[in-house]
Structure 1
Amino acid sequence: MVSVILAGGGTAGHTSPLIATAQAIAAAEPDAQITCVGTARGLETRVVPEAGLSLELVPAVPLPRKVNADLFKVPFRLAGAVRVAKKILRDHGADVVCGFGGYASLPAYLAARALKVPVVIHEQNALPGLANKIASRFAVAVLTSFPSTELPGARFEGLPVRQSITDLAEAGRASQAAGARQEFGLNPDLPVLLVSGGSQGARSLNDAAVDAADRLLAAGIQVLHVWGPKNFHDGLTERDDPATGARYVPVRYVDAMERAYAASDLMLARSGAGTVVEVATLGLPAIMVPLPIGNGEQARNAKPLVDVSAAICIDNSELTADRLVREVQALFAAPGKLAAMSQAAQQLMRPGAARRVADIVLAAARKTTARKAGGER
């Protein structure tokens, strides 16, 4: 039996591929012991246990963006987190550590290096994060979601997505659209714009969508609006346009995001790696509004879709209700363009990433178990 440690968390961009890989490992080797490592401040504290996976926690060590007193505390905090990670790896007899970025990954990577446990990294974004940049120098495999990601020894394998996304891609969104719309209380016969700023929501997308909603409903375009837990409030209610029958449906959060995708014909979204890969896998045309802060990774994530005309990209500063209404109405008035965007998206991403990543992780783990067995003889 092999023992696999999967590290990462914070947002769905890290937790979703982690869970998808865990599921693929369990399917390939049912006896494998799988332990996830996250922090108390991330989405993983809810979604990982809900997926039936074991979760251990290490202290979060955020890196301040400015030079201040907290910056000088980072080495001490990191050393403490690494000590906790070492104990987790020892307690579980780790044969391999696979990290997906986020606060939990760097302590796990450094603990693994100190204990001579092989490291596999998977980078979701086109522009790599700090933890994966560091670990790429000593990892036995460096895997990426996008072919253009610059890391030493990088191999483009695609982004692991949940089996439910793969199943929907194989079945086709159109085959499940009517049923999914009814689940959300939408009119099954009218088109749907899905709005989602990711697991935490996005204020600029929310503001533009709610201000545009009445005009979209009047045009016969429904809106399924995923606000995000921090932004949703009790004053948000469903409504419809009496003349067209189109409905506006606000929701706090969607756990089974594949049902929201199935209900939709077009998406307004941030361009986190998970969203980019999932809409590409499903052939869901998108209007992408990259997060304007950070190191520009979201704009880089969106570029492959934009380059093949599978998505439209709008700067955050240019997203207004007027612009949104104009873009959405133009796309729904040209069904041939929507169909072409869908086809272009599905040709972009390699399917089966979860299984490929799982196979690479298991191969590294088996080498460790073979080495341990050799040392015991």
Structure 2
Amino acid sequence: MTTASRTPWPGRPLDGDDEPAARPDPDSTPDDEPWGARLEDAVAAADAPDAVFALSRHGHRTVRTGGTGPPPPHPRDTLRYEIGSATKTFTGLLLARLTDSGRVSGGDAAVTLLDGGRPAGTAPITLAHLITHTAGLPALPAGFHARALPAWRTNPYARYPDARVIDAFLRHRPRHRPGTRWRYSNFGVAVLGHALAAATGTRWQDLIPAQLLEPLALHDTALRADTRGRDATGHGKDGTTAVPAFDAGGFQAAGAIRATPLDLLTFLEAHLDPARSPRLAGALHAVRTPVLRRGLGHRHVHTVAWFRHPTDGGPLYFHSGATLGQQAFLGFRPDTGTALAAVCTRRYRAHDPFPATAHALLAEQ
């Protein structure tokens, strides 16, 4: 466990973190062959039944697909993929959007929104604590494993519905003062989704389409499995055993979204150029703002939606995610005007090449 360097968002940006302007595009109509070859190498390195690497550079898109399995009935880049924890980038943007419109504040106490009561003590868990993983909550609620065990290899989260997530939060007593320590928590972001629903009187699964998907024209992004065969099929670590479609149960805000690679690229391109999405411009700028440092030398930097790594030219923003049978990597670099959406249909395994390959590809742009 590490100590957070500063009370997280809302607040002003951390000092010294202004982003450099994007470097001018040396070629307004770049040849995609160099990028295409590198993306093809990345697809091969993923070693998955289905893999798609989609890159946008100054709006010019290059997409490569492939896989170790037989081609699916529909082209791989038109399928919807489970993005797992990368869903948190949507939930973080939703929080920023609702904050920008004045409907909630990052300082709102989650217990008040969910239970209608006054928070106990002088340091309640706030919405900002939940999205920045500083609420003092464990990765999963107490009792989760016992309840999920019968479905551990199929759909463990489906056995923990909304009401149980909320009840577990209301019963939980943090060991540390909120805002002082960082611990990655699916539980915390799931609670945030329920708190936003309570604050607005609208379910999270309805907030996301109205507040984000429609304004960004993400027509091939959804929160539930499709019955028409347009979703990719996940596979286990062996790359051959098919697994059921993921059901997030009460953890939708932490991992429910599934989307096509091109929709994910559109989502990332909006972060590169917020001015092109006027309804969301304020929120898109907000989720690029550093709010938290942690680790040795405070080298790990976070925003309300993204992990932020330095490069020679400027910051790189990214988030990865995995379900029982699929993986995703989302990232963008404002300095080079580059975004990368990568997905594959194989369960995460030890020393998995997929996330490292995707991160390195974006870092080298």
**TM beyond 0.5:** no
Higher helix share: 1
Q: TM-score, normalised by structure 1?
A: 0.28
| Higher RCO (C-alpha 8 Å, min separation 6) | 2
The structure with the larger Rg is 1
Q: TM-score, normalised by structure 2?
A: 0.29
